[in-house]
Amino acid sequence: MTVIDANRMHEIETRYPEYFHRSLRQRFGGLMILIATLLYSLYAVWFFDLPKLFAEAHWERVGIYLSQWVSYDVQPEFRIGDDGSIDIRYPRFSPLGDNPHPNWLVNNPDGSITVSISGTSRTVTVSKSETIVTAHGVSVPVEVSSGAPKVIGPVPGWITVYDDNVLADLGFAGNVSISVDRVKIRKRFIGWANFIFDTQSSFFDKPVGEVVSLIVSGPRIKSDQSNLSLAFDDIWNNSEWQHGDVWTKLFQTIVMAFLGTLLGALTAFPLAFLAARNITPNRLLNQVLKRFFDFLRSVDMLIWALFLTRAFGPGPLAGSGAIFLTETGTLGKLYSEGLENIDNKPREGVKSTGAQTVLVHRYGIMPQIVPVFVSQTLYQWESNVRGATIIGAVGAGGIGLKLWEAMRTNANWENVAYMVILILIVVFIFDTASNALRHRLMGTKAH
């Protein structure tokens, strides 16, 4: 065991004062940051009134919207006539088409109709005098022959009784609304209805094998058009899913991002040389251009899109212009800072040979900055594919506008899910391609 005397200790303290005589900030800096973060978090909770916000939030809507992303419902309505007859009606744009005969609806010998909501565990039997709802292991009869529907026996928790209506909540499977003269059923199915062919298509509701057989070797459905061409037209012009319009708008979004980023890069590149202090020794010009870049990028892309939509009207031109203005400011700043951080030795070496300014830039500067500039531009392009979706919602065209229209109806959430998935796929593809190109240019391996 080594013993350190007082002189040796004093010598160590003199040599390493930062370890033995730390300032107040060094000793308590971490604790102060932790306390400040905690205080700020408490302030944010108070400022936004988060307890009240969470208490009053409609959390049940989250489950409803998510279920509508991955499912669809069919809504048969049973109208009970004065003579005891039961008339079955479907909404005008039912996913089952104009003349549905679903196998989950059975006409019984006694004149009643049984609807399977979810297998045999959840069923509804409609007759002229009563409706029997079976769910959760019990059958609940609801009398409909009197002035108002009346539940016979105890009322379970999943049934709500109103003055002129009885509502049975069957969970994700659907629900049943019972009144005196009609019973309306909402039956939910997993999946997306009529995603390939809509109800107006000649191929609607046909098995996959039959559709393939018709396309490959079947007789022509329309004499002036092949079955393959007809099938493509029916898919592209699907009235429920609007594949043609969605894919066209998606392509518009990609073009908007590409065009806006390309024009921004082409504009920012020469301006960056004028803004860089070590390239253009004009302090006034440097500052004017840098403040110009700050102005362009300080106004959000969404705000530029609003301005340009007012000027040029809704469409992809306004979206491309908004991306162009934002990217001119962003890339101009990145390019100029990159130029100011180059190694001046290659530039001075080329300049010492008496080469012209253009050649000095070409051989002394460009080899250093091109990989970095291209990498930054690719990253911005990838980011603008996502940004173009957002600005589309304010009228700048592209799939963002289509997405916003679907969300506004508050009914086409499966269409919203379809477009969101397409956007995610496109972003993933562009992200992968951009990363691969950046790593290739920078000479590094992608992980």
The per-residue pLDDT for 4 is: 65
The pTM for the full model equals 0.79
Alpha carbons 234 and 246: distance in angstroms, whole number: 15
Sign of CA dihedral 244, 248, 249, 254: positive
Q: Is 80 helix (H, G, I), strand (E, B) or coil?
A: strand
DSSP 171: G
In whole angstroms, what separates CA 421 from the centre of its chain?
A: 7
Please name the residues in contact with 22: beta carbons below 8 A apart, sequence gap of 6 or more.
Answer: none
Q: Cα–Cα–Cα angle for 163, 115, 414, nearest 5°?
A: 85
Handedness of CA 54, 56, 60, 62 (dihedral sign): negative
pLDDT of residue 111: 86
Report whether 270 contacts 339 (CB < 8 A). Answer: no
Please, are residues 404 and 389 in contact by the beta-carbon 8 Å criterion? no
Q: What is the pLDDT of residue 233?
A: 93
Nearest C-alpha neighbor of 327 from the set 273, 387, 395, 280: 387
Contact 337, 274 (CB under 8 A): no
Cβ within 8 Å of residue 413, ≥6 positions away: 65, 68, 69, 406
What pLDDT sits at residue 160? 92
The CA distance from 27 to 339, in Å, is 40
Q: Which residue has the tokens 């604790």?
A: 31
List the strands of the sheet with 130-135, edge to edge: 105-107, 113-118, 122-126, 130-135, 138-143, 150-151
**Residue 167, phi then psi, degrees to nearest 5:** -115, 125
Mean pLDDT per block of 10 residues along the chain (447 residues) reads: 65 66 71 92 91 84 82 91 85 84 89 88 90 90 84 90 90 90 91 90 88 88 88 92 92 91 93 88 90 91 89 84 93 89 77 77 78 85 86 82 83 88 89 80 61
Whether 216 contacts 348, CB under 8 Å: no
Nearest to 323 by CA among 277, 273, 385, 243: 385
Q: Residue 230 — φ and ψ, nearest 5°?
A: -65, -40
> What pLDDT, on the 0 to 100 scale, is given for residue 359?
79
Alpha carbons within 13 angstroms on the beta-carbon side of residue 141 total 8
Q: Where are the beta strands (DSSP E) in 155-222?
A: 159-161, 166-169, 174-178, 182-190
3-state SS assignment for residue 327: helix
Report the phi/psi class of residue 226: left, alpha or beta, with left for phi > 0 and alpha for psi in -120 to 50: beta
